[in-house]
Amino acid sequence: MAGGIQQPSGVYAHGMWVDPGGRKMSKTLGNTVELDVLNKHFPIDAIRYFCLREMVFGQDGRFGYENLIDRTNSDLASGLGNLSSRTLTMIHRYCEGRIPEGTVSDESRLAAKRAGVEDEMAISHFVSHARDEFLRDFEDFAFSRALEDAWGIVARADKMISDAKPWDLAKDSKQRETLNAVLYRAAESLRWLCVLLYAVMPSAAREIYKQLGMTGDVSKTSPRELTWGGLSVGQAVGEVKPLFPRIDKAKTMEEIKEQRPEATSTEGGSSPTIREGVESSGQHATEADAVPGVAYVDITDFAKIDLRVGEVKTAERIPKADKLLLITVDIGEEKPRQILAGIAQYYEPEKLVGRKIVVVANLKPRKLRGYESQGMLLAASVGDEGKPVIATFAEDVPNGARLK
């Protein structure tokens, strides 16, 4: 102001970083994050991804070494890294290391459909829509949501490979076109992901781009200019190198603890715990401690609810039902559960596939619109309109695990 410079009309700022227990980081508490620890145990791209994916811009974000390991293993090692590795390895193995033809002739279209290979127009439309959502969210500083959009492409490509089983297609010469189509679509999806994710993970994006056999600079390609079919048939792919090796959580946490013990002292959270009516101080809770207006239930009543971890395998809209989605969820049983959820106005079906959710497993089945719902998913109700936000997990948890 003294210099006569026009003041900004708005300032964009992220929130505070807090530890897993919700406390602001400070040297006094010893819960700060040390750069030498991060540099020794984690790739820079993994840290960049975690910070943008874990923190909702403008709000406080929690940072813990265990959370970083879990996110790296689930999203990067088992997600993007696995998709890149398996796709390029199969191109080397089944296509002599060259990008195969992606089109399917009319004669082979039925066989491809039976193998679980979707129409090329459908997948190109999906990745184009995900790209548009990604850019819109990025421009709105919704980085976490933008990365969720991108990982929708990862889930879609992974599902296509798992359904089509290229390793089985390769055994049948009549399925050659189907095999080629699967691998081309997976590789082309990776090319789009490289361009989208360059701003978040530049090193990984460049490496995947190089392994795809692309000679240009990925940073020079605008996401808005992406068109389906940019991979040239016959171009040689590069040497396959692991991008995000899986981190041994127990071993790494032990090494971090030895390197800086105070850094892990609050890793499990610092909030006092309450165990079945007994306060952390050892004193029994009394009726005087009750919060007015809260309808308490006994621990035995809560124990009657069977909450399980489930993975969404399929999701689709119900005809003539604007609010309902029909999803199938693997909760560790012999076959997936079928569940109806009133979230269709807020979630695209494709983006739910592969997500881990919380399922009420012992809810009495009921019929809606002619479909039986065999459980219920849990979601928060946000805002005046009651927008549903699905409850999920920051760590990698097995299907069927029970919540207690």
DSSP code for 13: -
Task: Flag whether 320 is in a domain.
Answer: yes
Q: What is the CATH number of the domain that holds 315?
A: 2.40.50.140
Q: What is the CATH number of the domain that holds 132?
A: 1.10.730.10
Return d(Cα 208, Cα 331) in angstroms, integer: 33
The answer on 200 and 112 residing in a single domain is: yes
The answer on 322 and 205 residing in a single domain is: no
Cα dist from 119 to 106, 114, 232, 317, whole Å: 12, 12, 19, 19
The answer on 201 and 57 residing in a single domain is: yes
DSSP code for 395: S
The answer on 223 and 88 residing in a single domain is: yes
Question: 390 phi and psi, to 5 degrees?
Answer: -65, 135
Is residue 38 within a helix (H) or strand (E), and if so which, with residue range? helix 35-41
Q: What is the pLDDT of residue 70?
A: 92
Q: What is the pLDDT of residue 288?
A: 42
The answer on 35 and 166 residing in a single domain is: yes
Return d(Cα 363, Cα 376) in angstroms, integer: 7
Q: What angle do CA 62, 68, 71 make, to 5 degrees?
A: 105
Cα dist from 28 to 17, 38, 64, whole Å: 15, 20, 17
Task: Flag whether 395 is in a domain.
Answer: yes
Q: What is the pLDDT of residue 273?
A: 36
Report the C-alpha dihedral over residues 264, 266, 268, 273, rounded to 10 degrees.
Answer: 160
Q: What is the pLDDT of residue 269?
A: 44
The answer on 351 and 260 residing in a single domain is: no
The answer on 310 and 239 residing in a single domain is: no
Q: What is the pLDDT of residue 270?
A: 39
Count of domains in the chain?
2
Q: Would you tell me how many other CB atoms lie within 10 Å of the CB of residue 250?
A: 8
The contacts of residue 162 (CB under 8 Å, 6+ apart) are none
Return d(Cα 102, Cα 342) in angstroms, integer: 37
Task: Flag whether 281 is in a domain.
Answer: no
Task: Flag whether 182 is in a domain.
Answer: yes
Cα dist from 272 to 22, 62, 262, 275, 299, whole Å: 12, 17, 19, 10, 19
Question: 95 phi and psi, to 5 degrees?
Answer: -125, 25
Q: Please report the DSSP string for 91-160 in residue order.
A: HHHHSTTBPPP----HHHHHHHHHTTPPPHHHHHHHHHHHHHHHHHHHHTT-HHHHHHHHHHHHHHHHHH
The answer on 170 and 21 residing in a single domain is: yes
Return d(Cα 223, Cα 129) in angstroms, integer: 12
For 200-217, the pLDDT digits (tens) are: 999 999 999 999 999 989
The answer on 224 and 88 residing in a single domain is: yes
Q: Which two tokens stand for residue 261?
A: 């013990």
DSSP code for 232: P
State which residues of the chain have pLDDT below 70: 260-298, 300, 384
Q: What is the pLDDT of residue 267?
A: 55
Task: Flag whether 293 is in a domain.
Answer: no
Residue 372: which domain range?
Answer: 302-403
The answer on 340 and 256 residing in a single domain is: no
Q: What is the pLDDT of residue 386?
A: 78
Task: Flag whether 132 is in a domain.
Answer: yes
* Burial category of 7 from C-beta neighbours within 10 Å (exposed 0-12, middle 13-18, buried 19 and up): exposed
The answer on 256 and 361 residing in a single domain is: no
Task: Flag whether 126 is in a domain.
Answer: yes
The answer on 307 and 253 residing in a single domain is: no
Of the candidates 253, 270, 287, which is a domain's last residue? 270
Return d(Cα 402, Cα 404) in angstroms, integer: 6
Q: What is the pLDDT of residue 334?
A: 79
53 close to 144: Cβ distance less than 8 angstroms: yes
Q: Would you tell me how many other CB atoms lie within 10 Å of the CB of residue 10?
A: 4
Task: Flag whether 225 is in a domain.
Answer: yes
